[in-house]
Structure 1
Amino acid sequence: MAQYHVSARRIDSHGSEATTKEARIVLDTDVAGRLDAFNPAELLLAAVAACMIKGIERVTPTLKFSLRGVDVRLHGERQDSPPKMVSITYELVVDTDETDQRLALLHKNVRRYGTISNTVAAAVKLEGTISRKV
């Protein structure tokens, strides 16, 4: 069973940092917000995006799927009381010459095997589309 470890610490009232392995990320934990860091909701969306891109990297060799690039756009909806994310929508845009059927197969595999996306989808409405870059 895979295990993951992250440590986070408060720097000051304007921000914090999280570390894992040799990586560090600045966290927006300022009540007023800050433009140079991801807030917790944005981190969640970024984790879903990273999961989808990593899933694509994992399945493209197996599917012999040829692509030049992938963009993921996400939108999260948060309710105030109680505060929680209620839905996340995404758009996967793939730069490829593969057929529409192969693009749909890629999307199916990304949705089926994503650790983070499956975890999030169990708690929040997660839906989206895949399209070809034009």
Structure 2
Amino acid sequence: MDYTVKATSFPQEDAEIDIKTSKIAFGTTTKTADVLPNPAELFLGSFAACVLKNVARFAEMMKFQYQKAQIDVKATRLDKPPRMEHINYVLTIYSNDEKLNVRLLKKNIERFGTIYNTVKLACSISGSIKIIKHV
């Protein structure tokens, strides 16, 4: 598989990524640092999207139902050289399904996630899955 994105920026302005029919604005200036995602946050967003996509994928394969999945991602950044040192995530799945095998789901996410596997080559990752019974 090959992927293509296009990003554009102009001096003293913020930037935008074009992916298929989506436009994602991101900050490259200090004036929008509090309102637009920066490149590090987009990177973590991609990691989060990968995990959530795999929840949907493995729900079908493992035949479990869920009402919602949510992921919180935190990262530690080093300054010299600038890079992510560690990523920690908590994946919360709202489900009453007894067939949901959390250990197998976590193993599958960690084994088959494209972004997950790319990132783990560059920094350490730890995470957990929480199940919340949906009422």
In the superposition, the TM-score normalised over structure 2's length comes to 0.90
Deviation of the 1:122 alpha carbon: 1.1
CA-CA distance at 1:109 after TM superposition: 1.1
Supply the distance in 1 between the matched residues of 2:101 and 2:11 (Cα, whole angstroms): 49
May I ask how many residue pairs the two structures share in their alignment?
Answer: 133
Alpha-carbon distance in 2 for matches of 1:83, 1:53: 27
Change (3 A) 1:42 1:17: same
Matches of residues 1-134 of structure 1 in structure 2 within 5 Å? 2-31=1-30, 33-99=32-98, 102-133=101-132
Name the CA distance, whole Å, in 1 between partners of 2:67 and 2:126: 24
How far residue 52 of structure 1 moved from its aligned partner, in angstroms, is: 0.4
Give the whole-Å Cα distance in 2 for the aligned partners of 1:100 and 1:87.
31
Distance (Å, rounded) in 2 between the aligned partners of 1:26 and 1:6: 13
Instruction: Report the 3-state secondary structure (helix = DSSP H, G, I; strand = E; otherwise coil) of the residue aligned with 1:50.
Output: helix
CA distance in 2, matches of 1:32, 1:79: 24
Unaligned runs of 5+ in 2: none
Give, in whole Å, the separation in 1 of the partners of 2:82 and 2:109.
Answer: 28
Which structure 1 segments of 5+ residues have no match?
A: none
Q: Is the Cα contact below 8 Å between 1:52 and 1:117 reproduced in 2?
A: yes
Q: Deviations over 1:32-82 (max 9, x none)?
A: 652221101101110000000001111111100111110100001001111
Q: Percent identity of the aligned residues?
A: 32
1:97 Cα deviation (Å)? 1.8
Structure 1, 11-20 or 107-116: larger mean CA deviation: 11-20
1:116 is paired with a residue whose SS is helix
